[in-house]
């Protein structure tokens, strides 16, 4: 997706920069959500040590 946005910037110039910046934000947000989901799953499966501040499991 980012490559497509970069090509648009290359072809249309500065007017396409907002689209490229939005693509960057969307990708970063998706990666962050995916990482958080993986961490949560690891905690539930007991693969990641709980911190003392973590609530007790239900």
Range of the domain at 30: 2-43
Q: Does residue 34 belong to any structural domain of this protein? A: yes
pLDDT tens for 2-23 read: 899 999 999 999 999 999 999 9
Q: Does residue 52 belong to any structural domain of this protein? A: no
Q: Does residue 50 belong to any structural domain of this protein? A: no
pLDDT at residue 31 is higher than 70? yes
- CA nearest 44: which of 34, 33, 58, 30? 58
Q: Does residue 51 belong to any structural domain of this protein? A: no
Please tell me the total count of domains within the chain. Answer: 1
pTM exceeds 0.75 = no
2-12 and 17-44 are packed helices; what angle lies between their axes, rounded to 10 degrees? Answer: 170
């Amino acid at each position: 997706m980012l490559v497509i946005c970069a090509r648009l910037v290359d072809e249309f110039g500065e007017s396409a920069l907002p689209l490229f910046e939005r693509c960057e934000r969307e990708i970063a947000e998706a990666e962050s959500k995916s990482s958080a989901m993986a961490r949560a799953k690891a905690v539930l499966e007991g693969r990641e040590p709980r911190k003392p501040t973590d609530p007790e499991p239900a």
